[in-house]
């Protein structure tokens, strides 16, 4: 979502490199470009003005510092301001001393509120919690059924009034209250309540969600905002915050084509952080929002912490450690590589993974790398004999032709994969020797990807 803004900042900061000091004219030029970049990203005008003023104030007299160059200092200042703009610190969930911890979900219809209720339940389960969902949206007939479907997918129970939902009648406050009692009876420690939304804010909707909030006294009230609505997100956030005292925002459709204005405006306007972000359609495409990490991504500095966390979540630890040891020892085979590639696919779109790596060229970072590239590599490896996978150096011309015919590729593609894999083996064996071997279990495994863009 922040690709355009990231490109603009990269261009601005690139022009600063090499300058021994910044003149007032340089500062004015940079501030004007930052202002334009933020406005083009659909950031609220008032927010843009305040942020640029703070950055400018800190940029005055940068030549006094001897530790960093002017460009490095500007990057540091901009990084801190972006971090503050995105929320400052990661929201830490504090659980209620008397369970359950009640989470109230609010937002407009179409914002992804019900889907994100299911995603949040899955996230809490991953934290070792025992959540339950309540369907208090009785106005939209399909809402309760949708929530029940999501509940089955994440193996979380759902409480609601199905008959009232089908008839479009019933009291959502009573349903939410009974849901809380049921959660306590069942010993659930987290209760997520999905409320009704409208296409636009109206008094009836706001009164209903206010009454539900008064009845439940939730520990957290999350506002789900569609990242695609741009500056309208500011007004939506303000209205809900005036009614409910929002604790945090869940930003949905972060993987879309939005320019980022919603994410960069909400915290400054209502003083509440982005708590979670929905990064795709799948139920596991949901993560806790880290403002400092997102600021790093925008400025092209990568996000290795999130990448490592995702790798640890999706990779089989013992297999990854063994593969890492074999890679360093120069014993890593194409079978090992195929196994690691299967694990990597679980981490989501590869373009997202590349976006977290620091120093990746913008052409590669923005590349839409689909399953086709991986399927081609996988087909080539699976068309090899076990002996060829262990020792690809035995693959001669006739073997290449057989493998190409078996995988539906060309001999050139087979040859390129084998050559790249051989180079990777040599490089990692040399690197492993320089590390002095190391102990098993001390490395995190992130495989190289032969056959993909950027490895050619």
Predicted confidence at residue 455, as pLDDT, reads: 40
User: Does one domain contain both 77 and 107?
Assistant: no
More confident residue, 453 or 404: 404
DSSP 87: T
Q: Is residue 96 part of a domain?
A: no
Q: Is residue 95 part of a domain?
A: no
Predicted confidence at residue 85, as pLDDT, reads: 80
User: Does one domain contain both 41 and 120?
Assistant: no
Domain boundary among 278, 301, 324: 301
User: Does one domain contain both 112 and 77?
Assistant: no
DSSP 100: P
Instruction: Provide mean pLDDT across the span 216-232.
Output: 84
Predicted confidence at residue 423, as pLDDT, reads: 73
Q: Is residue 407 part of a domain?
A: yes
More confident residue, 383 or 319: 383
Q: Where are the beta strands (DSSP E) in 254-349?
A: 274-278, 286-288
Instruction: Provide mean pLDDT across the span 204-233.
Output: 86
Burial of 396 (0-12, 13-18, 19+ CB in 10 A): exposed
With a CB cutoff of 8 Å and minimum separation 6, the contacts of 9 are: 34, 37, 78, 298, 299, 300
User: Does one domain contain both 320 and 282?
Assistant: no
Q: Is residue 454 part of a domain?
A: no
Is pLDDT of 161 > 50? Answer: yes
Instruction: Provide mean pLDDT across the span 170-189.
Output: 92
Instruction: Provide mean pLDDT across the span 337-350.
Output: 65
Of the pLDDT bands very low, low, confident and very high (cuts 50, 70, 90), residue 363 is: very low
Predicted confidence at residue 453, as pLDDT, reads: 38
User: Across the chain, what does the average pLDDT equal?
Assistant: 76
Predicted confidence at residue 116, as pLDDT, reads: 93
Is pLDDT of 446 > 50? Answer: no
Name the most confidently modeled range: 100-104, 110-114, 267-271.
100-104
More confident residue, 131 or 429: 131
- Cα 81 to its chain centre, rounded Å, is 20
| Token pair of 378 as six digits | 């996988």
Predicted confidence at residue 438, as pLDDT, reads: 44
The CATH number assigned to the domain holding 344 equals 1.10.260.30
Taking each helix axis as running N to C, give the angle between helix 45-59 and helix 70-85, from 0 to 180 degrees, rounded to the nearest 10: 150
Predicted confidence at residue 282, as pLDDT, reads: 84
Domain boundary among 85, 109, 141: 85
Q: Is residue 306 part of a domain?
A: no
User: Does one domain contain both 326 and 353?
Assistant: yes
Q: How many domains does the chain have?
A: 3
The Cα-based distances of 315 to 122, 263, 347, 376, 426 in angstroms read 18, 30, 9, 22, 24
Predicted confidence at residue 129, as pLDDT, reads: 94
Instruction: Provide mean pLDDT across the span 109-123.
Output: 91
Is pLDDT of 199 > 80? Answer: no
Q: Is residue 91 part of a domain?
A: no
Domain that holds residue 155: 101-301
More confident residue, 306 or 188: 188
User: Does one domain contain both 206 and 282?
Assistant: yes
Task: Report the alpha-carbon distance of residue 321 to residue 318 in Å, rounded.
Answer: 5
Residue 12 parent element (H or E): helix 3-16
SS3 134: strand
User: Does one domain contain both 273 and 131?
Assistant: yes
Predicted confidence at residue 15, as pLDDT, reads: 73
User: Does one domain contain both 159 and 227?
Assistant: yes
Instruction: Provide mean pLDDT across the span 51-58.
Output: 84
User: Does one domain contain both 115 and 204?
Assistant: yes
Of the pLDDT bands very low, low, confident and very high (cuts 50, 70, 90), residue 262 is: low
Predicted confidence at residue 185, as pLDDT, reads: 94
User: Does one domain contain both 208 and 354?
Assistant: no
What is the residue whose two structure tokens read 């696919």? 345
Burial of 96 (0-12, 13-18, 19+ CB in 10 A): middle
Domain boundary among 237, 269, 301: 301
SS3 297: helix
Instruction: Provide mean pLDDT across the span 82-96.
Output: 85
Instruction: Provide mean pLDDT across the span 223-234.
Output: 78
């Amino acid at each position: 979502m922040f690709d355009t803004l990231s490109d603009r900042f990269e261009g601005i900061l690139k022009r600063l490199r090499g300058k021994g000091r910044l003149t007032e004219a340089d500062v004015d030029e940079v501030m004007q470009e930052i202002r334009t970049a933020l406005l083009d990203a659909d950031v609220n005008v008032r927010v843009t003005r305040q942020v640029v003023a703070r950055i400018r104030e800190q940029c005055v007299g940068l030549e006094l510092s001897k530790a960093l160059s002017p460009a490095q200092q500007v990057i540091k200042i901009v990084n801190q301001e972006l971090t503050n703009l995105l929320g400052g610190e990661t929201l830490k969930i504090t659980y209620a001393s008397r369970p359950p911890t009640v989470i109230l979900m609010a937002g407009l219809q179409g914002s992804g509120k019900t889907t994100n209720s299911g995603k949040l339940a899955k996230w809490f389960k991953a934290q070792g919690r025992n959540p339950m969902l309540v369907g208090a949206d009785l106005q939209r007939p399909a809402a309760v059924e949708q929530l029940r479907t999501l509940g089955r997918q994440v193996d979380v129970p759902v409480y609601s009034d199905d008959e009232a939902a089908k008839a479009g009648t019933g009291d959502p406050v009573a349903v939410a209250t009974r849901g809380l009692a049921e959660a306590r009876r069942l010993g659930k420690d987290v209760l997520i309540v999905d409320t009704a939304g409208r296409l636009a804010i109206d008094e009836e909707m706001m009164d209903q969600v206010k009454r539900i909030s008064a009845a439940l006294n939730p520990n957290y009230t999350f506002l789900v905002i569609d990242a695609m609505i741009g500056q309208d997100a500011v007004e939506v956030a303000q209205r809900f915050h005036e009614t409910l005292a929002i604790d945090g925002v869940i930003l949905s459709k972060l993987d879309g084509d939005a320019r980022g204005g919603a994410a960069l405006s909400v915290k400054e306007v209502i003083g509440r952080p982005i708590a979670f972000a929905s990064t795709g359609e799948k139920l596991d495409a949901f993560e806790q929002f880290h403002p400092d990490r997102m600021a790093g991504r925008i400025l092209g500095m990568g996000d290795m912490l999130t990448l490592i966390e995702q790798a640890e979540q999706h990779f089989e630890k013992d297999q990854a450690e063994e593969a890492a040891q074999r890679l360093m020892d120069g014993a890593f085979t194409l079978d090992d590589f195929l196994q690691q590639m299967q694990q990597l696919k679980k981490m989501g779109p590869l373009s997202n993974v590349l976006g977290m790596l620091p120093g990746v060229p913008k052409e590669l970072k923005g590349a839409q790398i689909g399953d086709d590239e991986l399927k081609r590599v996988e087909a080539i490896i699976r068309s090899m004999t076990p002996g060829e996978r262990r020792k690809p150096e035995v693959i001669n011309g006739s073997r290449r032709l057989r493998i190409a015919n078996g995988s539906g590729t060309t001999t050139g593609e087979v040859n390129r994969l084998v050559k790249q894999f051989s180079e990777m083996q040599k490089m990692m064996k040399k690197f492993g020797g320089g590390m002095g071997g190391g102990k098993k279990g001390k490395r995190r495994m992130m495989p190289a990807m032969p056959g993909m863009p950027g490895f050619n």
